[in-house]
Amino acid sequence: MSIVSPINIGDLTLEELRAELEAMAERPFRAAQVFEGLYREGLSDFAAFTTLPKPLRKKLAARFTIGRLALEARLESRDGTAKLVFRLRDGDCVETVLIPSGQRTTACLSTQAGCKFGCAFCASGLRGFRRNLAPSEITGQALHVARTAGAGVTNYVFMGMGEPLDNFDNLARAVRIMNAPEGMGIAARRLTVSTAGLVPGIERLKELDLQVNLSVSLHAATDRLRSRLMPINRKYPLAALIGACEDYLRAGGRMITLEYILIKGTNDGPGDAEGLAGIARRLRAKVNLIAYSPVPGLPFETPSDGDVARFRRRLEERKVRVTVRLSKGRDIFAACGQLAGRLGDEDRPDGARG
């Protein structure tokens, strides 16, 4: 990451901040106090860091900024799902979705503005890629929902707009900041990185050993169909993806979840279930089924509840552990990228899409 002055202090991990303080002839233990002010107390002005001596507060204010995300919109669905849209400093919008389910509330965090991977069924891919989010823009979403979600957020998934592993360095920084006891103090087991199948990213994740959960968006069990739905499969076909997942598991990674969006008449047949079950068994993975949420302008349909139940049964008959995530928030454009796309386009001079 190239850092220009003034530095957004939220882009630094604890270790990086310690090094910065040492370079400023300050004692490194101050970094933990700064982290506590930033992430536990949510302070946004160095003058309010009362645990720090006044001269240090002044030095920090001269060297760093504290950037916070601006909330542009918050929509609540009838089913409890909430979608938040944040305006970035350069005017673009990203989304965060809060999904309550039983005792859990999961926050879906974006890692990029737009996405370059162009999956055929996805609203985020429609508008193309704009840029990677900085670590502070990723953790900023988490910080906002942690401080404002009434019932409390229990789990965080890097799975909103963008491909997290395509923004690897900033994702890794965000994970470290969220995981640090002096920072947000979120246990790694409550953090999940989701990928569309970026094999080199899975390899890097394995080497970094962050101990987060890995979730792979599979959505098809043959190369033919997957390459049609997810162009990334042309570069990293199933054999390479499955091989990378196996290596990840061998290296001590946590259990993998396979995400599978069920699309009516496209990937919901008996052969699809059999292929998916084979991959899941090979990886000892859990399958998370999600009924497709329609996106205006895209030619895909939502399966009926009966279709989803049948597909689930076929997997379970093959001894695969399955969860079904009910499609939530359809009344608030909860499919990834839909609402930010609308808000972002309103402010674009030509109203262009994609």
Q: Mind telling me the catalytic residues?
A: 95, 336
Would you say 273 or 336 has its CB closer to ligand SF4?
Answer: 336
Of 26-34, 146-154, 156-164, 234-242, the window that binds ligand SF4 (rule: CB under 6 A) is 156-164
Distances (CA, A) of 195 to 17, 118, 136, 176: 29, 13, 21, 18
Instruction: Report the distance separating Cα 220 and Cα 295, nearest Å.
Output: 19
Rounded to a whole number of angstroms, the minimum distance from the CB of residue 194 to ligand SF4 is 8
- Binding residue for ligand SF4 (CB under 6 A) from 14, 94, 99, 122? 122
- Binding residue for ligand SF4 (CB under 6 A) from 107, 115, 172, 308? 115
Instruction: Report the distance separating Cα 19 and Cα 253, nearest Å.
Output: 30
Rounded to a whole number of angstroms, the minimum distance from the CB of residue 152 to ligand SF4 is 27
Nearest CA-CA partner of 99 in 166, 59, 157: 157
Whether the ω angle into residue 6 lies within 30 degrees of 0, i.e. cis, is yes
- Binding residue for ligand SF4 (CB under 6 A) from 37, 100, 125, 140? 125
Judge whether 294 and 300 are in contact, CB under 8 Å: yes
Would you say 119 or 146 has its CB closer to ligand SF4?
Answer: 119
Rounded to a whole number of angstroms, the minimum distance from the CB of residue 6 to ligand SF4 is 31
Residues 179-238 that bind ligand SF4 (CB under 6 A): 196
295 is a site residue for ligand SF4 (CB under 6 A): no
Would you say 125 or 329 has its CB closer to ligand SF4?
Answer: 125
Nearest CA-CA partner of 75 in 333, 343, 344, 328: 333
How many residues of this chain bind ligand SF4 (CB under 6 A)? 12
Instruction: Report the distance separating Cα 93 and Cα 126, nearest Å.
Output: 14
Burial of 264 (0-12, 13-18, 19+ CB in 10 A): middle
124 is a site residue for ligand SF4 (CB under 6 A): yes
Rounded to a whole number of angstroms, the minimum distance from the CB of residue 333 to ligand SF4 is 14
CA angle 294-296-299, nearest 5°?
70
- Binding residue for ligand SF4 (CB under 6 A) from 85, 98, 108, 119? 119
Would you say 161 or 339 has its CB closer to ligand SF4?
Answer: 161
Would you say 119 or 193 has its CB closer to ligand SF4?
Answer: 119
Residue 137: enclosing H or E segment and its boundaries?
A: helix 135-148
Q: What is the DSSP string of 260-307?
A: EEE-TTTS-SHHHHHHHHHHHHHHT-EEEEEEPPP-TTS---PPPHHH
Residues 321-340 that bind ligand SF4 (CB under 6 A): 336
344 is a site residue for ligand SF4 (CB under 6 A): no
35 is a site residue for ligand SF4 (CB under 6 A): no
Q: What is the DSSP string of 201-227?
A: HHHHHHHHT---EEEEE---SSHHHHH
Rounded to a whole number of angstroms, the minimum distance from the CB of residue 338 to ligand SF4 is 11
Judge whether 202 and 236 are in contact, CB under 8 Å: no
117 is a site residue for ligand SF4 (CB under 6 A): yes
Would you say 66 or 196 has its CB closer to ligand SF4?
Answer: 196
Judge whether 175 and 216 are in contact, CB under 8 Å: no
Residues that bind ligand SF4 (CB under 6 A): 115, 117-119, 122, 124-125, 161-163, 196, 336
